[in-house]
Amino acid sequence: MRELFDEVAGKSPLDPQEAVRRATRAPQRKRFYATTAMIETDGGFAVALDGKPIKTPSGKIVAVPKRAMAEAMMAEWDAQKETIDPLTMPMTRFANSVVDAVVERVGVVRDDIAKYFHSDLLFYRAGHPEALVAREAQHWDPVLFWAADALGAHFILAQGIMHVHQPEQAVAAARNALPGDPWSVAALHVVTTLTGSALLALALHEGARDPAEIWAAAHVDEDFNAEQWGEDEEVSARRAMRKLDFEAAVAILQALKSAG
């Protein structure tokens, strides 16, 4: 079971896109269990396959703090047919990654998120055409205004891709707003990696923008180009797979704020 779970986790447990690439390359295993169940553990809730709790490659029980998270994991294992497809198990991959790679190194993961405050997607704007300039402003400006008003983080915008140095005070203010618990930090890391924006991830966590708005803001340029030149099927397929991980991260954040 641990070898399978290592494949599900992916080479880099903090990079959902690398997890997808590795899972795509790995041969699919046959389903080896008959029953699934949710059990209570010292760490919260876990999923048991044929009575045995799922464990990480290092031997730790994959325990999650909220019942809804365990239920989502169990649904993923229940949904597997003759073979197990890791690409359809984002919550399981997420939980495995947190238990094995984030719980004991929250500060490192927070620092990795904070790096994006120096070169966030929202800082670099198109100079033309006017329609794209307006659309970027429509989706990105509300997040920047929120960061300035709610966090005291005033960032500098640039046109094109030339790097602009951000005020250390702004970076520090945004970093201080990042959560400190491993599950929230991991969820924000996933959203940051998928969107290219720590500000979008933070706005999602704080409820300043809803998930649909965050996902749309992350794909402004991509959607605009698709409207002009048509959709690329390969790009659309990759985006659909990324969306699964995004939705898993959103589900984690929502579950953490729930009472159950």
**Two domains, one topology: 2-102 and 106-256:** no
Q: How confident is the prediction for the chain on average, in pLDDT?
A: 89
d(CA 194, CA 186): 12
Q: Is the peptide bond before 129 cis (omega within 30 degrees of 0)?
A: yes
CATH entry 1.10.3580.10 includes domain 106-256: yes
d(CA 104, CA 168): 27
Tens of pLDDT, residues 22-55 = 544 556 789 999 999 999 998 799 999 999 999 9
Tens of pLDDT, residues 158-216 = 998 888 999 999 999 999 999 999 999 999 999 999 999 999 999 999 999 999 999 99
Token pair recorded at residue 36:
């699934």
* Domain parsing of the chain, residue ranges: 2-102, 106-256
CATH entry 3.30.2180.10 includes domain 2-102: yes
